Chain A
Amino acid sequence: MTFSNRAAVPITGEVWNRAVELQREREARRPDDAGIRRCAERLYELAGDRDVLEYLRQRVEEMDLTSPPGGSTLWAWRAQHPTTGEFVGNRYLAHAWAEAVNRATPGDPVTVIHLTPGGSEMDLHWLNDRRTVAALDLDPDDVKAIWQRLSERYAEHIRGETLVFSDMGHSQAVLCTTELPVVRQSPEAGVNKIRFVHPPARHLPDPVRRLLYPDAIRARVQIDEPSRPRHLDTAALLTLSPPMQAAYIKHVLDQVDLDDRETARHRFRAAGTTTPPPRRPAAESGAEAARRAALAFPVNTAAAARGGSQGTPSSQPSVRRPSPDEDRGHSR
């Protein structure tokens, strides 16, 4: 099967500006206090004689979150406009970028979760607005669970390529906890069709950024929370020789793939439920673990000697370098 390398489509100045515009437009649509009360009232009407939270939990199971086969975007956190310095939610950047791609290839569109019928319905409720949380007497933890389930179902519907708008899968974001694991395990999408549109975050040291460029690595690991699964210890990585770096990265990626296979088996057996199985202990982390992993996994020292020592899984992902346009902005 072929798929276009859409991640190579640059985020042009026009796309950045459109993202800023989309962000401002949404803020302009944010209801005033009376509008928030009307939103709450509408939700109560939809819920009928059910508790509104129960209604939302049931509704999220029925929503249409279908994506086109050409590709879907995922996003987390925000980016910074390359010339104005304004912060822009990656949600808006993904949206603006999808618009640009869809203009160029109208027959093969990409989508964003909030443009699906289910996503746009959820958007109308303004569930993350503090005034909605008060009017409906919601607990942010319950709202989070609803978004998580919506995101999980969206990710389950992805077919083909997945374009990620995040400099790194922040370990606390739904992108990292829910969406990427589902996409990685999906036979219709899969880890080898995940592309990161942003380069790795600018605040990272250059050697770390270089090591994190391959999509295959960023699609699997997180680098900011040692206590969570899929952690790649970048500080330890920098203390290793190139062959040991490659071995350590391979070790972590293999561990992620193993965990994914176990989770996918469970999902299949559960037939219709998505309750994850008990987690295996997280992969080893830290300098000592990196060294032990490196020793346990002999590497291609010839490749290391040539300078091509980034860890790569068996699928041999391509290492994408952003165009100058693409690299101008950065997430933070």
Chain B
Amino acid sequence: MSYAEIKRSPEQVATDLAQLRSMNWAEVWAGDGNSPTSKDWAESLGWRLASLDPDNNLTIALLSGGSLTLFRHQHSTRFEQALAVAWKLRARQANENRAVVEQALAAWTNYYQAAVRALGSPEHEPRADVVGDTGPSALFKPTGSSRALFELKVNLASSMLDGVRPGSASIRVLIHPA
């Protein structure tokens, strides 16, 4: 099994989240339709455009060093979700799936504590294990942050359940319109 890739440490995630909670999310979700370019739009929000995919979803770089992918609402200029992957591990064979989950759960605690430091208490205390095909997840609605719901979760590939095919797990931050 490969080693987990730590794209952002828990401390770095806390820094990224502290920056993201103060964003004007209404402006983010409204999208880049009124800007000459997506680069101009990203810069107007204090971000730097890093890349755009074939569906014109944008990946932006934060001042703190993290990155965030903004997914569009269908083909429109609006956005409907933001995603940052902090930690990830893929199994090469199905018999590694259990170890992948165990490592993700072991890493989860530190990321969860970092999120609490940056965003305050979650809406509900999250469980710390896997139920069915769902890993731990915590929702945050930080005070002073408008129009954004922050979610920290252990995401599991849908292949993890059957025990036949190699799966994967990641710790990711999702931001949803609120």
Chain A residues at the B interface, C-beta cutoff of 8 Å: 23, 26-27, 30, 37, 40-41, 44, 47-54, 76-78, 87, 89, 91, 128-130, 133-137, 139-141, 143-144, 147, 170, 172-174, 201, 203, 224-225, 332
Chain B residues at the A interface, C-beta cutoff of 8 Å: 7, 33, 35-39, 49-57, 59, 67, 69, 71, 74-77, 80-81, 83, 85, 88, 90-94, 155-159, 164-170
Given A47-B165, A77-B38, A137-B155, 4 new contacts (CB under 8 A): A54-B90, A135-B157, A139-B170, A172-B50
Contact yes or no, A49 B93, CB < 8 A? yes
Contact yes or no, A137 B39, CB < 8 A? no
14 intermolecular pairs with C-beta atoms under 8 Å apart: A50-B166, A51-B91, A54-B92, A78-B56, A89-B56, A135-B157, A137-B158, A137-B168, A137-B169, A140-B83, A147-B53, A172-B49, A173-B52, A203-B36
In the bound complex, residues from chain B placing their C-beta under 8 Å from that of A135 are 157-158
Which of B33, B166, B170 contacts A51, CB < 8 Å?
Answer: B166
A27-B74 contact in complex given A128-B54, A137-B170, A144-B53, C-beta closer than 8 Å: yes
In the bound complex, residues from chain A placing their C-beta under 8 Å from that of B75 are 23, 26-27, 87, 89
Shortest B60–chain A CB gap in Å is 10
Shortest A283–chain B CB gap in Å is 20
Contact yes or no, B77 A133, CB < 8 A? no
In the A-B complex, the 4 residue pairs with the smallest Cβ-Cβ separation, listed nearest first, are A203-B36, A137-B157, A130-B71, A140-B69
Across the interface, name the chain B residue whose C-beta is closest to A28: B74
Which of B59, B81, B83 contacts A144, CB < 8 Å?
Answer: B59
In the bound complex, residues from chain A placing their C-beta under 8 Å from that of B168 are 51, 53, 137
In the bound complex, residues from chain B placing their C-beta under 8 Å from that of A172 are 39, 49-52
Which of A53, A77, A225 contacts B56, CB < 8 Å?
Answer: A77
Shortest B15–chain A CB gap in Å is 19
Across the interface, name the chain B residue whose C-beta is closest to A177: B51
Across the interface, name the chain A residue whose C-beta is closest to B36: A203
In the bound complex, residues from chain B placing their C-beta under 8 Å from that of A30 are 74
A170-B83 contact in complex given A37-B158, A49-B93, C-beta closer than 8 Å: no
Tell me the complex Cα distance, A148–B88, Å.
21
Shortest A136–chain B CB gap in Å is 6
In the bound complex, residues from chain A placing their C-beta under 8 Å from that of B53 are 128, 140, 143-144, 147
In the bound complex, residues from chain A placing their C-beta under 8 Å from that of B85 are 139-141
Across the interface, name the chain A residue whose C-beta is closest to B90: A51
Contact yes or no, A128 B37, CB < 8 A? no
Tell me the complex Cα distance, A52–B92, Å.
9
Shortest B75–chain A CB gap in Å is 5
Contact yes or no, B158 A203, CB < 8 A? no
Tell me the complex Cα distance, A316–B54, Å.
33
Most A CB within 10 A of own CB, among B77, B81, B157, B170: B157
Tell me the complex Cα distance, A44–B53, Å.
23
Contact yes or no, A332 B51, CB < 8 A? no
A139-B88 contact in complex given A87-B77, A133-B83, A147-B54, C-beta closer than 8 Å: yes
Shortest A231–chain B CB gap in Å is 13
Most B CB within 10 A of own CB, among A52, A133, A140: A140
Which of B33, B56, B83, B165 contacts A49, CB < 8 Å?
Answer: B165
Which of A128, A173, A203 contacts B55, CB < 8 Å?
Answer: A128
Shortest B137–chain A CB gap in Å is 12
A134-B155 contact in complex given A87-B33, A172-B39, A203-B36, C-beta closer than 8 Å: yes
Contact yes or no, A224 B166, CB < 8 A? no
Contact yes or no, B57 A128, CB < 8 A? yes
Across the interface, name the chain B residue whose C-beta is closest to A51: B166
